[in-house]
Chains A and B, each alone.
Chain A
């Protein structure tokens, strides 16, 4: 009984610490962002201007919100067919074979590569490739960053989807087969409806990861503080801007960077909430 109480107390205390840390982060972000919101109000979110030059300072978050959302959603779009096919290959078609287990661990390995390495690879290999394909003059931009982001989030989308797809009861699948269904019909009529919410959850997780990615994006997006004009235009994301400009920032600029951090936090929270809502709707 006594040990039970102790365990309960420890668990409670640890959970409380986590809760306090999250609350502390939010509070200090709000506190730091206050001067900016006092100066610009909500128009900070919609202003396309980011001018840190002393004497003509003007800050707006729109270019970075646009950059973040465009690169992340594009990355999700590119990653979708790749990782979905991979999940089906690993968890359904070649389930429990050697090929599948090797492929599975290769995909997991992708998650272990530090983002700076992805950045380097993108800088020295992917970018020249894009230039030589004639897609863009200098190879930096939204598309290049989305491509690298897509590769980075594949393992997040794939491994969870794998689990979910394998968890679809074999009885259901066998029943479908016995009714004369083809493999494709089993996938579209049995596996997808059953695993739907889990698969969506895995893509939301992947999107969340893409939103916050900093290093690889900063090396490839071109860091121009403008709203991207097209797929191959340069731009900047929220995380990348903060990483770049935090060192020299002070005063209103510092506060604006913190405000962008707060907005990124809010966007991630919204994405997560949307994910939870969709999962609830689907299951």
Chain B
């Protein structure tokens, strides 16, 4: 018994020695950046973070805990930067201890996926989107759908609307668009990360919605474009403000960001007036504090954060975004973001020049 205790003690001591040593090593040599937030841009961030670590040796970790979690983490000052698909409202900004700034990192879209065997193209007008997602049109052979798709042989199948059951930036972008094109939606449902749905059933995450749609004939729902493109799901052409039916592609999503962008980049890109734009698109942002000296952070930590974000909007990182089916930032957004990054300070001193 005694021997056992001594052995145990020895092991514990040894283990703790080892730990201490490795900790000291890493803190003296390397800075680690921690970020958390939106799941929507995760495929891009995962790849970009890995690439940056490989090139510079800087360790980066990203927790996909949702946009709300990203904002909360920044508020609690436990991350170097957060990530969100919905920009902070003026009220949210006031609640932050320091001045929070937004940097857009890429553009994503929300596609309307459907499951109708044998039908590979379907057009949805504003009115149809409203009718379907408010539960007013309930069968695919409805005359309203036929009118918009005269060449398609529509089956007599019930429409099952599938939406997200978890709070999500994808839902935010989708409902923002719906609120813009439909007064009825705006009045009854509104815009948010999770909604009170007039019809349909909920599934968790993009994979849940996509899985439910692919398993249910007659189902229709909305999915993040990055997921839909990678999965080769059939999705609808959506009518934009100019009246054109647009297929979601990297190009048509990019086109949605050609309009004016405010200096703080807080803008929704949905319902773009560009005639070639896919209308359900949106920026995704990282958020951080404009003054980086908080919660005992070192200057090295702050500098690395700013440097990394500068890289994230560079053409090199943007091509990574494109490789995982996001649209890259337009020149105007990069220009604005560069200005914003230059305004970041540490104890009043700018970090980048």
Contact of A139 among B167, B195, B202, B216 (CB under 8 A): B216
Does any Cβ of A come within 8 Å of B42's Cβ? no
CB-nearest residue of chain A relative to B71? Answer: A250
CA–CA, A51 to B190, complex, Å? Answer: 10
Q: Which of B26-34, B158-166, B318-326 contacts A (4 or more CB under 8 A)?
A: B158-166
CA–CA, A53 to B189, complex, Å? Answer: 8
Does any Cβ of A come within 8 Å of B193's Cβ? yes
CA–CA, A55 to B204, complex, Å? Answer: 24
Known contacts A218-B165, A222-B202, A248-B166, A53 near B197 by CB under 8 Å: no
User: 8 Å CB contacts to B: which residues of A133-187?
Assistant: 137-140
CB distance from A101 to the nearest CB of B (A): 38
Report whether A52 and B196 are in contact in the complex, using a CB–CB cutoff of 8 Å. Answer: yes
CA–CA, A137 to B89, complex, Å? Answer: 40
Report whether B165 and A244 are in contact in the complex, using a CB–CB cutoff of 8 Å. Answer: yes
User: 8 Å CB contacts to B: which residues of A89-132?
Assistant: 123-124, 127-128
Contacts of B59 in A (CB 8 A): none
CA–CA, A50 to B216, complex, Å? Answer: 26
Known contacts A244-B165, A245-B166, A247-B66, A222 near B215 by CB under 8 Å: no
Report whether B167 and A52 are in contact in the complex, using a CB–CB cutoff of 8 Å. Answer: yes
CB distance from A129 to the nearest CB of B (A): 12
CB-nearest residue of chain B relative to A58? Answer: B196
User: 8 Å CB contacts to A: which residues of B180-214?
Assistant: 189-197, 200-204, 208, 211-212
CB distance from B182 to the nearest CB of A (A): 15
Contacts of B211 in A (CB 8 A): 123
CB distance from B100 to the nearest CB of A (A): 15
CB distance from A207 to the nearest CB of B (A): 25
CA–CA, A144 to B156, complex, Å? Answer: 25
Report whether A248 and B190 are in contact in the complex, using a CB–CB cutoff of 8 Å. Answer: no
Q: Taking each of A49, A127, A138, which has the highest tally of chain B beta carbons within 10 Å of its own beta carbon?
A: A138
Contact of A223 among B65, B67, B201 (CB under 8 A): B201
Known contacts A52-B192, A127-B215, A138-B219, A244 near B204 by CB under 8 Å: yes
For chain A, the bracket of interface size reads 20 to 34
For chain B, the bracket of interface size reads 35 or more
Does any Cβ of B come within 8 Å of A4's Cβ? no
User: 8 Å CB contacts to A: which residues of B118-138?
Assistant: none
Report whether A248 and B193 are in contact in the complex, using a CB–CB cutoff of 8 Å. Answer: yes
CB-nearest residue of chain A relative to B171? Answer: A248
Contacts of A49 in B (CB 8 A): 196
Report whether B202 and A223 are in contact in the complex, using a CB–CB cutoff of 8 Å. Answer: yes
Contact of B158 among A55, A137, A223 (CB under 8 A): A137
Contacts of A248 in B (CB 8 A): 66-69, 166-168, 193-194
Contacts of A218 in B (CB 8 A): 165, 204
CB distance from B55 to the nearest CB of A (A): 32
Report whether A247 and B190 are in contact in the complex, using a CB–CB cutoff of 8 Å. Answer: no
User: 8 Å CB contacts to A: which residues of B9-44?
Assistant: none
Contacts of B72 in A (CB 8 A): 250
Report whether B66 and A222 are in contact in the complex, using a CB–CB cutoff of 8 Å. Answer: no
Report whether A138 and B191 are in contact in the complex, using a CB–CB cutoff of 8 Å. Answer: no
Contacts of A250 in B (CB 8 A): 68, 71-72
A-B contacts besides A127-B215, A224-B200, A247-B66, 12 pairs, CB < 8 Å? A52-B167, A52-B195, A123-B215, A128-B215, A137-B158, A137-B160, A138-B160, A138-B216, A225-B197, A245-B167, A248-B66, A249-B68
What are 23 A-B contacts with C-beta separation under 8 Å? A52-B167, A52-B192, A52-B194, A52-B196, A53-B190, A54-B89, A54-B190, A54-B191, A54-B192, A123-B211, A123-B215, A140-B201, A224-B197, A224-B201, A244-B204, A245-B165, A245-B167, A247-B66, A248-B69, A248-B167, A248-B168, A250-B71, A250-B72
